[in-house]
Amino acid sequence: MKSLLFAANWKMHLGPADARAYCTTFLAHSAPMPGREVWFFPPAASLEAVSGALKGRADLRVGAQDIHWEAKGAYTGAVSAGIVSQAGARATLVGHSERRKIFGETDADTARKVRAALAGGLTPMLCVGEELKEREAGNTLAVVTRQLAGALDGLSAGDIERVVLAYEPVWAIGTGRNATPQDAGAVHRQIRTWLAGHGAPHPRVLYGGSVNLGNIAALLAEAEIDGVLVGGASLEPDGWAQLVRTGAP
Ligand code: PEP
């Protein structure tokens, strides 16, 4: 049985009070399951509420949606690895496509953020994925490889092993249109090949993009997929708990 990671990206939803209520409902609908971990990425303002509410369940983890690469300083609106750690985070997303697209985050920025996360004791979950026009031009693998190299080149094998990968084709995020398990599997294989070539032969590679109760079983059945990163379908606690249970014996 492969171990699975279910990651919930709440984006700009669920402030502290709503997040606490969410966790109460989630815990009522979910028991720990062998080989399954669930990570929550709430907005920064809700990190402490969520980490407090989920305390005591070793299978649950809380992470930030983004960090700045500096440890402290005059960066209005930003949070550092140290700040989110104090609020209970043990991981952080890096390079989510919304950060890249809306906030202009570059590959060089993702490199700094991965290093800041590692230095701060957080597990980076690096998001990579192509836009629709890049897929249609046959450039998926070139784009994903550029993003991997941009973020991870120059790190030691030991550090690269600490990074979790999320393949998220941009055209599948929030659109209701997911990659087929076979298409995702093909990209995951390339990601594994790249990582193995950089000294990390056993990476965790998640798929993200319009995952829901209707497609989760087929995606998890694909050997290359070690779990999922989910936006919209993670926002209702009972539905999310049901998704996490899917396919479990
Ligand atoms: C995401 O935000 O990472 C994501 C995959 O969103 P959705 O599940 O809504 O497509």
List strand residue ranges (DSSP E) for 42-154, in order. 60-64, 91-94, 123-128
Which residue has a Cα nearest atom 6 of ligand 1? 231
State both tokens at 99: 């950060």
> What pLDDT score does 248 carry?
59
CA dist., res. 84 & res. 78, Å (int)? 10
> What pLDDT score does 247 carry?
63
CA dist., res. 91 & res. 65, Å (int)? 9
Q: Are 199 and 161 in contact (CB under 8 A)?
A: yes
Annotated catalytic residues are 96, 168
Bridging pattern class, strands 123-128 and 91-94: parallel
Taking the centre of ligand 1 as the mean of its atom positions, its distance from the CA of residue 73, in whole angstroms, is 31
In Å, how far are 27, 186, 210, 233, 244 from 136, measured between CA atoms? 42, 16, 19, 27, 32
Q: Are 41 and 65 in contact (CB under 8 A)?
A: yes
pLDDT tens, N- to C-terminus, the chain (249 residues): 789 999 999 999 999 999 999 999 999 999 999 999 999 999 999 999 999 999 989 999 999 999 999 999 999 999 999 999 999 999 999 999 999 999 999 999 999 999 999 999 999 999 999 999 999 999 999 999 999 999 999 999 999 999 999 999 999 998 988 889 999 999 999 999 999 999 999 999 999 999 999 999 999 999 999 999 999 999 999 999 999 998 654
> What pLDDT score does 217 carry?
95
User: Residue 166 corresponds to which amino acid?
Assistant: A
Q: Is the CB of 129 under 6 A from ligand 1?
A: no
Q: What is the dihedral of CA 226, 190, 179, 135, to 10 degrees?
A: 160
CA dist., res. 177 & res. 179, Å (int)? 7
Taking the centre of ligand 1 as the mean of its atom positions, its distance from the CA of residue 138, in whole angstroms, is 23
Q: Which of 127, 165, 173 gets mutated to test ligand 1 (max ligand atoms within 8 A of its CB)?
A: 173
Please state the three-class secondary structure of 60-72 as a single string.
EEEEECCCCCCCC
- What is the atom index within ligand 1 of the atom nearest the CA of 98? 2
Taking the centre of ligand 1 as the mean of its atom positions, its distance from the CA of residue 176, in whole angstroms, is 9
